[in-house]
Structure formats: C-alpha cells, structure tokens
Structure 1
C-alpha cells in the first residue's frame, strides 16, 4: 500500500508541534458515510526510537460493528480534531480488533502530515491485507472439524519446524513401543489389555488388526492353512501355529490353552512344533515267591518248588501328567 496521508484540520495545526504529545486524548472510528460509530480514549502515546509520534489505541474484540470503517480520527483533550487517518475498508466484527498502532511523522510543508504506511503497518491493515486472505485459503484446505472433501497431503518432514504426516507419526509411535506388534508372552492377570489378544485359537478380522496380520504374514514357518491348523489342533488339543483363516478376511491365533513351553533343541524340534507327553523309561520290581511240600503233624519228603508270581501294583495318579504350575494368560501384542 502506498503512503497514506493524514490531513489535519485547522484546529489541529495550532497545537501540532508543541502540544500534540500532551493533548492527544481520544480516537473515533469513522464509517463510509463519515459518521462516528465508536469513540474511546487513547491507550498511550510516545515517541519511538526514530522520533516518530506513536499512538496506541484498543478496539475491543467483543464489539460487533457491521459498518465499514473508513478512517480513524485522533482528537485532543478539548475535542479538537488532530488528524483523520484513512484506513483500508474493514469491518470490526466480533473477534476483530485489538491493539492498533498509528505513527504520525510530521514532514513537508505546514498543514500536511504524512502517515508512513510504507514503513509501518497497523494491525487492521495486517489483518485485512494479509491474515484474512491467508485464513480464507487455509479454511478451504482443512476445516476445524475435518472434511472428507477437503483432505490435503503433507510431505515427509525434514526440518524440525515442518509438519509431519500420518505415516511418520505412526512410524514414530511404533518405534517407541515397549513391545512390538506380534510380541508373545504370558502374564498373570484377569484379562487382556486393549492392545493384547488371548492366544487360545480365536479367529479375528484382518481389517481389525492390520498390523498384527502383516506381522503374521511374515512368519511363514509358523503359518498354516485353516485345514492343517484344525487337523493339528484336533489331534493334540493345542496348536503352536497361526492360521490363514478363510484365506482373505480372517486369521486364527495359536491355541496355547493347555501348553507347557520348552525351548527348541536346535536339531529336531522347531518353534511351534508339538511334543506329546511322556514318562522316561523305568521299571518297578514286585515279586512274590514261596516253597511247596506236605505239612502236618510230621513232615514227609522234600519240599516242592513253586514258580514266582508276577503281579502289578495298584493304580495311582490322576487324569494327566503335569508338574506343579500357576495359571497364566498366553498373550500377543495386536495393536
């Protein structure tokens, strides 16, 4: 904007040089019909470092003016007009206003005051000429509440003051996880947390747990078809493998409900493989023997040998072979 000219009235010229600083008292807002629609006292006035008289005024943001502002009028303590400063056309509606600064530099011949708009800019000019157009363009890109029709993309941030996109945020969150997706463990508690699933053979939608399914897909040695999974689970009453589910929308977790865990041996046993219960080879000795012969009041002849009888011990134990144990939840990080 070119330099705006503040033209003083006759009364203002008489006090401009010597009394201007002391006598400036109030300001008025002038509409396009030259009517005063708001008046208030000046907040402060001072000379800046360049010796330019600076006037600070405050236009309350809670006011709602629908008229178009044309000028700001500066007046003295005895209500004389010091200067009329032309402004860009603006409406001080609710939320617009605040602190405004006007700089009056006296130059040229008597009777003319140059308002240095090329060197200084008021808050209203800043809002009208720059901030409002920027806000308007931003509102077309992203509404406060969001809009599917006004989405925009953000490139990967490089500098510290750049915005990050969704992908970068997800990667940053994933890197900060205490446990990664797919981490398996047992824990003693009443129920799984929000980001955990219980591994007792349940079926889940891939769409509900996309990160977990992505992880499972990479575990090729632990992933079976649904038919193979069911066959092993039926035979062993447990299964240390994942299933592809229906092949398109679901997957199945391991069934570790009754499992005891044992480390792989590095030779014959691989992760997830089943091993049946077993008792190490051993024996129990229990033999009953006795001699034979004729017995009475007198003994006749030599005793006759009778073969030993092999007998079994009585039954003992329960329905399964197991060590002492504590019940836990077999869990996997799903989200």
Structure 2
C-alpha cells in the first residue's frame, strides 16, 4: 500500500494540535473475517507502535506504520486507526479490504489533514530511518543544497567556505601534511596550482623579491618570495625562531622587530676607598688582593671583576621567550 488519506476524529483534532508527541504513538488494525462485513461487526485484531510520525516537506502530518509480514491474520483489513495513550482513535483511515495473510504487509504511510513545520519529526520508535522518511525528510533538503551550490548560492551563510579561509594560518599539533594546508617553512609553490594563495599574497602586499628573501631570511620571514618570477613563489617561514605577537600601532605589518634583552645592571666599587674591587649584579669578583690596614692587620679583596649576564637572567645561544615548538600552517583555499 502507498500513502493513504487519514481522517482525524473530533477527539483527534484536539489531540493532534496539542499533545501529539507524547500521546499518539500507537495504531490498530480493524477488520473482520469477511471483506463485506458491516461496520458494526468490525473489531480490532492487531495493535502495535507507530514507526515514526513527522511533517512532510509540505507540512502535512505523516505516519509510518510497519504492518507485520511474518504474521498470518485470518481477518480482512478494513481500517487503520491511530490511537492516543488512552487507546482512543485520533485518526481513522479506511483501507482497501485485503486479507493480511503471511507475506502481506510492510510499510504503510498515512497522511492526515494536520499542518505543521515541514521536516519536523514528531515521534520515532525505531533507531533506523525508513525509506519514506529518507525520501520525504532527508533527501529533499540535500537536493536543494546541491542545487543552491550549483547556482553559486551559499545556503548557509553563517558557515564560512573553505575557499574564504585562504591565507589564514595557524599553529598545529599535527606535524604531518594536511589536506588544504601548507607548512610555513619557506617551501616553493606553483602559481597555477596555488593560484588562490598567490593572489591573496599579492593583494595583501606580502610578496617581495626572492633575492631579498634569500639574503635576509629572518628579516623577511613573514613574506612570500616571488620565486622564479614566472610560475612559482615561495612561502613565509615561521620556523626560524621568531616570537610572533599582534602588530602594534605604528609597526609595519609583517615586519620583523630586532631582538633585545632586558636591561642588566651591575656596580664596581672600591669598598669605601680601600684598595681592591667589589662587584655586584652582573659583576662578580674573582681572585684576591691584599692590603694593610695597619701594622698588625691585612685585609683582602678581589683582584678582578668579571661580567656575566647569567648571574642575573637566563641565557642561551639565542634570544628567545619561553618557547613551545609547533608546526605553522597556512590555508591554501582548496583541498
């Protein structure tokens, strides 16, 4: 059986417009032993749970029932009723008068003249999607999205397209290659293959002569090189040990600021006029020298003072803040 037109009962109209989700979850098969039985001779011979109910793409209330195929019924089916939690019929649907012998049954779709929000699922019994649900709820929106994309429209403007991310860069815990992303290690790219990224770099005035980039790689680490000046270009290199921070007012975007360390201070004194030297801060006394303060007493002090910054601040063979080494990647705008 295909879709059958169902008629709400007077009791059902109130229920369907209010407590539908919580109360209308069952159906019953109504019939008799003969196909021509009178209405008053009909009785219920099977009751089960509705598979699902939803509003189709036209906003019409739709019920999906799964009539048992493996069960043999002696009765002829005359009508299908949809029930509320009190077992009162809220929808009555006359059917063709057929004998439900074993092997006859399957999915039945009922549609009632109750309007709602298209696509809304009201009730679902099973965990799997039925064929009717798939065709009426899930496939139409996908088809519409495909058509919109073919026409160049963005059906979801709140979500950014990957192409719009070209030029965006990030640090990554993943050191392997990622689709749509290039490592910012100064590598060479094709202007044809990565046309979007090349155009982005050019439009943002981030392209310099390749010879400059090669000569002073640290100074021009954030710039793209123009490659062979024909069909290639090179990427920035953010793996040279730079400390990256937000561009402050008055600074050139992408420029490299020279290194610096905190001020270091030390003092050398002669201990209140006595011979010898005393150091403090970065100055540290080494060795000894002696001088007489009187005939009986000899004092000693340091014979030299050495400057060493590590007495005051942490030092290394490079200037750096505390560092976490990650991979820097830039979006090429396509996968």
Normalised TM-score (structure 1): 0.42
TM-score normalised per structure 2 = 0.42
Larger strand proportion of the pair: 2
**Bigger RCO of structures 1 and 2 (CA < 8 A, at least 6 apart):** 2
Largest Rg, 1 or 2: 1
